[in-house]
Amino acid sequence: MNISLLRSYRSKNGNATFVYSVTGTTTQLEEFAEAQGDYHRIDEETGNPLWFTTRCVGPKGKLIITTNGNVVADMSAFDQAASLAEQYGGNFGNALAMQAAQSILGFNTPPVQQEQPVVETENADLKDL
């Protein structure tokens, strides 16, 4: 199932709560409704189910239903990024972590532009200008 961040708010306890719109196949959405039970909510505007969490997973993500029937965000991409950063450490680990985080969160970074060497050419017609 895919999720998209709709909004966030502060609960009466002061906790940040993130509200995601859920999309998926008919079967996935039926399983989601069953797993959510009394907590199953539908967005009145879109008709999509809503998923509430106190842990932000970024603007987009995926949900899974555990073997215990709990609905959780699929954090495997974050775990992989953290593992790579830890494995390599230092500047390279930090660079990997930053690149992975931007990719996971859907931020596109422009590729690093390498400077092109300046090639001087002689052109008899332009010499006198």
Reported as a single tens digit per residue, the pLDDT across 6-64 is: 999 999 999 999 999 999 999 999 999 999 999 999 999 999 999 999 999 989 999 99
Give the torsion through C-alpha atoms of 86, 65, 56, 24, to 10 deg. Answer: 120
pLDDT digits (tens, 9 = 90+) for 56-90: 998 999 999 999 999 999 888 777 777 877 887 78
Give the torsion through C-alpha atoms of 19, 3, 53, 99, to 10 deg. Answer: -110
Question: Comparing C-alpha atoms, which of 109, 87, 114, 113 is closest to residue 98?
Answer: 109
65 in Cβ contact with 32 (< 8 Å):
yes
**Taking the complete model, does pTM exceed 0.85, yes or no?**
no
